[in-house]
Amino acid sequence: MNTTKNFVIDFDSTFTQVEALEVLAEISLRNHPQKEEILLKIKQITDQGMEGDISFRDSLIHRLELLEASRSHLNQLIEELRNKVSRSFVRNKQFFDEFSDSIYIVSNGFKEFICPIVKEYGIKEENVYANTFIFDSMDNITGFDQDNVLSSDNGKVALLNSLNLSGDIYVIGDGYTDYEVKKAGLANKFYAFTENVERSKVRDVADHVAPSLDEFLYHNKLPASISYPKNRINVLLLENVHPMAEKLLREEGYNVEVYPAGLDEDELCEKIKNVSILGIRSKTQVTQKVIDHANRLMAIGAFCIGTNQIDLQACLKKGIVVFNAPFSNTRSVVELAIGEIILLMRNLPDKIAGMHLGKWDKSAKNSHEVRGKKLGIIGYGNIGAQLSILAEAMGMEVYYYDITEKLALGNARKTDSLDELLQISDIISLHVDGRPDNKNMIGDREFHLMKDGVIFVNLSRGHVVDIDSMRVHIQSGKIRGAAIDVFPYEPKSNNEPFESPLVGMPNTILTPHVGGSTSEAQENIARFVPARIMEYINTGSTTNSVNFPEIQLPPMKNAHRMMHIHHNVPGVLAAINQVIAKHNLNIIGQYLKTNESIGYMILAVDKEYDNEVINELKNVEHTIRFRVLY
Ligand code: NAI
């Protein structure tokens, strides 16, 4: 026979995100000259009471005195509390509906504001145990019913004693008074609820810590609105990833650990065992050996552009999705290109260098506006296309050449060949990708085709330009100004000296591969990558993944999603279909994408199905990974 389960839930900072009396104080003291001081005092008294440092009754008396509140303030409070119900409570409304007979709100707060809030979750008024206010004839709050046990110390214990509930009792709360019920032997388990506040004194004595109601429900195998509590997803962020990433991932509810440095292979092998999401930059090497140790890993976020540091194939074979940030620093590169083009057109690099040597060279010779000049963009991708827009805004005439068909933005014109572009442009800016075929795509022949006195900019990849030939053409005056940010060989660290045939060339700007290096770009990356990861975890979408077949899915409605990642070998789909047919699974939507190594199948199914389906799908031969999402 099933034992009855009773759920005793606290209100302030548990059911709602806030302490209601603090919010009430904000309202009632809105125009009070000493508002800030009084609010601080109220907060301190609340905390002292919560931690068990002063008697509860004293804390209540002092706070009510300071409040100067009335019935109309209470109405405003209720309005505010409605929007402050804890997020995991809001999403698990179904739990409250289903278990309304055995859910009790036991609070040291006040029925006047608790009842209207919890009623909306199906909780019965007779199951709410809390204090009540006393009002004067003008509706001002003057005190509270001192006969109510909940206004006294150890009130929750006394109340639970008098309730004499039969069956198991689970207490969920954030305060010490909630724990006291368990301590008095009146509850089977005390769950420290830490979604809104975390008190170490309470956490330390709890049977279990519940960072959300999802965790409580999952732990007790109760119906929950999401398939897996987010706090059980461990995230490891290495290499000083921008703090925005940590913030966003924590807000999502994940358990985030941050390491400022990188980890070597052995350290990472050890650390990766419990990690579900790994965040790295360019230094951490994610090798086959690391992947072999990564049994819980679902996704890797490369908080950079390149992914050479990751064994993508090994990830793929283990069903680990890799994301990067391919265009989060686009704008930064474009701004630098524009700035450099202007400097070069004014012959400023030489003039600036001269000034530092005490040389005053005031003249308009070789100094031009960019307005009306022809800009030739080679590679009209994310960066090239954006440069096109900004350059046009400054009055430049934009031409571009790309090996794939690209939509011309604004008034930009496509040239039929690279040679044509080289011949007509006053300024040439390279924005091609780093594919091996592009090695030395600009060499002696191409420089010869350019106009005399051309301005040449390369912020793309070092190997695409023949540097020795470029030097010759700068010296000859063919190239009147150049800006180079990327080199065939770049120093591995800031301690290694930089050497290049271009050092000392006239009107030549050399920069240490910083085109995309700005704080804004770092923050953009730290927003972009977590968003992709969360989308994958929450919906299964693999948009912008570096290694996975791309599937973009709509939000889920009234369905469960079964994600099946398998080796791309014959027979797997037939086996999956057999399970579906055997269990008469009601399929609402079905998505499949494959690449040469894996298949990624998503089944959207009606919520009602036999759980055996899950086991059977997990055990289909060649399955790499299987999960159910709701
Ligand atoms: P993207 O992939 O969006 O665009 C590259 C474009 O070049 C594509 O449209 C492609 O079709 C075209 N292309 C490739 N080879 C070509 C060829 N031989 N001739 C004509 N078109 C060709 O890349 P995105 O994001 O615009 O980046 C462009 C370059 O900038 C990349 O090489 C990237 O590594 C580099 N980059 C440099 C940074 C820096 O700090 N300096 C920062 C960010 C990117």
Question: Do 505 and 560 reside in the same domain of the chain?
Answer: no
If one counts every other C-beta atom within 10 angstroms of the C-beta of residue 590, the result is 14
- Please work out whether the CB of residue 308 comes within 6 Å of at least one atom of ligand 1: no
Question: Do 215 and 241 reside in the same domain of the chain?
Answer: no
Beta bridge partners of 482: 456, 508
- Burial pattern 286-300, b for ≥16 Cβ within 10 A else e, equals beeebbebbeebbbb
CATH code, domain with 30: 3.40.50.1000
Whose Cα sits closest to atom 31 in ligand 1?
433
- Please work out whether the CB of residue 465 comes within 6 Å of at least one atom of ligand 1: no
The structural domain count of the chain equals 4
* 3-class DSSP state of 408: coil
**Closest ligand 1 atom number to CA of residue 384:** 26
Whose Cα sits closest to atom 35 in ligand 1?
460
Alpha-carbon span 181 to 80, nearest angstrom: 29
More confident residue, 306 or 428: 428
pLDDT greater than 70 at residue 1: no
Whose Cα sits closest to atom 41 in ligand 1?
515
- In-domain check, residue 480: yes
- In-domain check, residue 543: no
pLDDT greater than 80 at residue 163: yes
- Please pick, among 125, 251, 490, 499, the residue that the annotation labels catalytic: 490
pLDDT greater than 90 at residue 261: no
Question: Do 504 and 580 reside in the same domain of the chain?
Answer: no
- In-domain check, residue 602: yes
Question: Do 178 and 281 reside in the same domain of the chain?
Answer: no
Alpha-carbon span 304 to 313, nearest angstrom: 19
Of 425, 433, 465, 522, the one to substitute when testing ligand 1's pocket (max ligand atoms within 8 A of C-beta) is 433
- In-domain check, residue 527: no
Question: Do 422 and 565 reside in the same domain of the chain?
Answer: no
Q: Which of 219, 252, 270 is where one domain is finished?
A: 219
Give the Å distance between the CA of 460 and the centre of ligand 1. Answer: 6
Spatial contact of 338 and 394, defined as CB atoms under 8 Å apart: yes
Give the Å distance between the CA of 543 and the centre of ligand 1. Answer: 20
Question: Do 352 and 492 reside in the same domain of the chain?
Answer: yes
Alpha-carbon span 573 to 601, nearest angstrom: 9
> Which among 238, 236, 217 is positioned nearest to 227, based on CA atoms?
217
Residue 174's alpha-carbon distances to 14, 99, 205, in angstroms, are 6, 21, 11
Compute the average pLDDT of residues 312-334. 96
Match 């006047």 to its residue by tokens: 112
Binned at pLDDT 50, 70 and 90, residue 207 comes out as: very high
**CB neighbour list of residue 407: distance below 8 Å, 6 or more residues apart:** none
Compute the average pLDDT of residues 195-212. 95
- In-domain check, residue 510: yes
**Domain residues for 347?**
330-517
CB hemisphere CA count around 438 (13 angstroms): 18
Whose Cα sits closest to atom 36 in ligand 1?
460
- Please work out whether the CB of residue 332 comes within 6 Å of at least one atom of ligand 1: no
If one counts every other C-beta atom within 10 angstroms of the C-beta of residue 606, the result is 12
Tokens read off for 222: 């109760």
Compute the average pLDDT of residues 578-587. 93
Instruction: Output Rg (C-alpha) for the chain, integer angstroms.
Output: 33
Q: Is 490 a catalytic residue?
A: yes
Binned at pLDDT 50, 70 and 90, residue 244 comes out as: very high
- Burial pattern 135-149, b for ≥16 Cβ within 10 A else e, equals beeeebbeebeeebb
pLDDT of residue 195: 95
Compute the average pLDDT of residues 222-226. 92
- Please work out whether the CB of residue 521 comes within 6 Å of at least one atom of ligand 1: no
Question: Do 101 and 151 reside in the same domain of the chain?
Answer: yes
- In-domain check, residue 225: no
- Please work out whether the CB of residue 329 comes within 6 Å of at least one atom of ligand 1: yes
Alpha-carbon span 576 to 589, nearest angstrom: 15
Give the Å distance between the CA of 328 and the centre of ligand 1. Answer: 14
Give the Å distance between the CA of 382 and the centre of ligand 1. Answer: 7
| Segment 489-521, tens digit of pLDDT | 998 888 999 999 999 999 999 999 999 999 999
- In-domain check, residue 27: yes
Alpha-carbon span 280 to 241, nearest angstrom: 7
- In-domain check, residue 281: yes
Question: Do 462 and 378 reside in the same domain of the chain?
Answer: yes
Whose Cα sits closest to atom 28 in ligand 1?
431
| Segment 366-407, tens digit of pLDDT | 899 999 999 999 999 999 999 999 999 999 999 999 999 999
CATH code, domain with 574: 3.30.70.260
| Segment 148-161, tens digit of pLDDT | 999 998 899 999 99
Question: Do 351 and 453 reside in the same domain of the chain?
Answer: yes
Compute the average pLDDT of residues 587-615. 93
Question: Do 510 and 564 reside in the same domain of the chain?
Answer: no
pLDDT of residue 56: 84
| Segment 283-299, tens digit of pLDDT | 899 999 999 999 999 99
pLDDT of residue 554: 81
- Please work out whether the CB of residue 333 comes within 6 Å of at least one atom of ligand 1: yes
Alpha-carbon span 410 to 393, nearest angstrom: 10
CATH code, domain with 235: 3.40.50.720
Give the Å distance between the CA of 318 and the centre of ligand 1. Answer: 30
Question: Do 190 and 247 reside in the same domain of the chain?
Answer: no
**CB neighbour list of residue 479: distance below 8 Å, 6 or more residues apart:** 447, 450, 454, 455, 456, 470, 473
Q: Give percent of the chain above pLDDT 70.
A: 100
pLDDT of residue 607: 86
pLDDT greater than 80 at residue 447: yes
Q: Which of 274, 304, 323 is where one domain is finished?
A: 323
Count H helices and E strands in the chain, helices first.
24, 24
Alpha-carbon span 1 to 118, nearest angstrom: 30
Question: Do 308 and 336 reside in the same domain of the chain?
Answer: no
Binned at pLDDT 50, 70 and 90, residue 241 comes out as: very high
Give the Å distance between the CA of 432 and the centre of ligand 1. Answer: 3
Q: Which of 291, 323, 355 is where one domain is finished?
A: 323
Of 328, 333, 432, the one to substitute when testing ligand 1's pocket (max ligand atoms within 8 A of C-beta) is 432
Whose Cα sits closest to atom 42 in ligand 1?
516
Angle at 325 between CA 323 and CA 330, to 5 degrees: 160
Give the Å distance between the CA of 379 and the centre of ligand 1. Answer: 6
Q: What is the mean pLDDT of the chain?
A: 95
| Segment 415-432, tens digit of pLDDT | 999 999 999 999 999 999
Global confidence as pTM? 0.80
Residue 259's alpha-carbon distances to 43, 231, 458, 492, 524, in angstroms, are 34, 19, 35, 22, 20
> Which among 288, 289, 314, 310 is positioned nearest to 300, based on CA atoms?
310
Binned at pLDDT 50, 70 and 90, residue 2 comes out as: low
Angle at 503 between CA 306 and CA 333, to 5 degrees: 35
| Segment 10-42, tens digit of pLDDT | 999 999 999 999 999 999 999 999 999 999 999
pLDDT greater than 90 at residue 50: no
**CB neighbour list of residue 484: distance below 8 Å, 6 or more residues apart:** 457, 458, 465, 502, 508, 509, 510, 511
- Please work out whether the CB of residue 327 comes within 6 Å of at least one atom of ligand 1: yes
Give the Å distance between the CA of 461 and the centre of ligand 1. Answer: 8
Angle at 191 between CA 188 and CA 197, to 5 degrees: 155
| Segment 74-131, tens digit of pLDDT | 999 999 999 999 999 999 999 999 999 999 999 999 999 999 999 999 999 999 999 9
**Closest ligand 1 atom number to CA of residue 432:** 7
- Please pick, among 87, 513, 583, 625, the residue that the annotation labels catalytic: 513
Tokens read off for 394: 């400054």
